[in-house]
Structure 1
């Protein structure tokens, strides 16, 4: 009479799971010690309630496409660039209104470039919450 061989029970891969959890533990322990904690007596500056203003020497583009520089209306982007010195033309700062359509912003940027502006920098609000 022939005996049937018993099938070996399948082991669960718990060793692999333990290794992964251990590696994650070591990783987070090392990563947590890389950044020095802030001094407990330090109070960070709160800028949430500051009044937003355009930086100096920037061309402001309003939502209706109107251009202003230092509060004075500009007829168009080309006229603004021609009134700048050669040094100021190399880097032109532009502050667009949030409601300004992207097509209008691109047209103004092309007009600035065509009038001789070098690098055009768009100044935006960076929200940290």
Structure 2
């Protein structure tokens, strides 16, 4: 009697390889997702102020002007849609008003010119330029 044993076939190996393809695809999709999601950050109008070594802290003032990285002005939390003078004028009362200016650290000093001119035109005597305290 002769016993015939079937030769090992590549069919079982092919089925194993074919069943692993969806798992490999999922792993690569997850890898791509986490690579992309890791670089996404919340894009809000964040203001990155320059640092200083001063130990003085500013008190909350009646008027705060922010100059964002793209050059937009925000006065007391509201974007300026027209002229800065028209927006700032009703907010300051008299020459004893204090205005605090927060400028993004990536901007040049030229962006302060319109604010300085407006403050001078309104007769405001004190303009603070806010910075972050260096640790």
The two structures have a TM-score, normalised by structure 1, of 0.48
The two structures have a TM-score, normalised by structure 2, of 0.46
More contact order relative to length (CA 8 Å, sep ≥ 6):
2
